[in-house]
Amino acid sequence: AQSVTQPDIHITVSEGASLELRCNYSYGATPYLFWYVQSPGQGLQLLLKYFSGDTLVQGIKGFEAEFKRSQSSFNLRKPSVHWSDAAEYFCAVGGIEYGNKLVFGAGTILRVKS
């Protein structure tokens, strides 16, 4: 079965600093991978997805993620964090034999200090 691990429950970065949020997945075949962001009181918003092709994918709000099959990872990055990026971030994995079900990680809460 698929599974997703987000090792960091909380991360604090300074405004303007770079950011990397870690995501490791367990899945036997080529996964579909997603990053979502959730602001307080709101639903999850899709940041980016990996389906196939180029392993470095660009998303909204200046985020990018890189799929590394050898490390079973799909880490989210942003070169310069803004205070408005403070939110909770979820990594999710899907696979062809699971239809369009997704398994979500536990989330990483990002705090941005000025």
Partner 1 sequence: DAGVIQSPRHEVTEMGQEVTLRCKPISGHNSLFWYRQTMMRGLELLIYFNNNVPIDDSGMPEDRFSAKMPNASFSTLKIQPSEPRDSAVYFCASSWDSRGQPQHFGDGTRLSIL
- How far apart are the C-alpha atoms of 98 and 106, rounded to whole Å? 20
Pair 64, 78: CB distance under 8 Å: yes
Among 1, 28, 29, 41, binds partner 1 (CB under 8 A): 41
Please report, as a single letter, which amino acid is at residue 65. A
User: Is residue 89 a contact point for partner 1 (CB under 8 A)?
Assistant: no
Q: Which listed range, 15-23, 58-66, 70-78, 101-109, lies at the site for partner 1 (CB under 8 A)?
A: 101-109
Amino acid identity at 58: Q
4 interacts with partner 1 by CB under 8 A: no
Question: CA–CA separation, 104 vs 47, rounded Å?
Answer: 14
Of 10-18, 35-43, 53-61, 70-78, which segment contacts partner 1 by CB under 8 A?
35-43
Q: Does residue 40 belong to the site contacting partner 1 (CB under 8 A)?
A: no
Q: How far is the CB of 36 from partner 1 (least distance, A)?
A: 8
Q: How far apart are CA 74 and CA 82, in angstroms?
A: 22
Nearest Cα neighbor of 11 from 114, 93, 107 is 107
Contacts with partner 1 by CB under 8 A lie at 32, 34, 36, 41-46, 49, 51-52, 90, 94, 96, 99-102, 104, 106-107
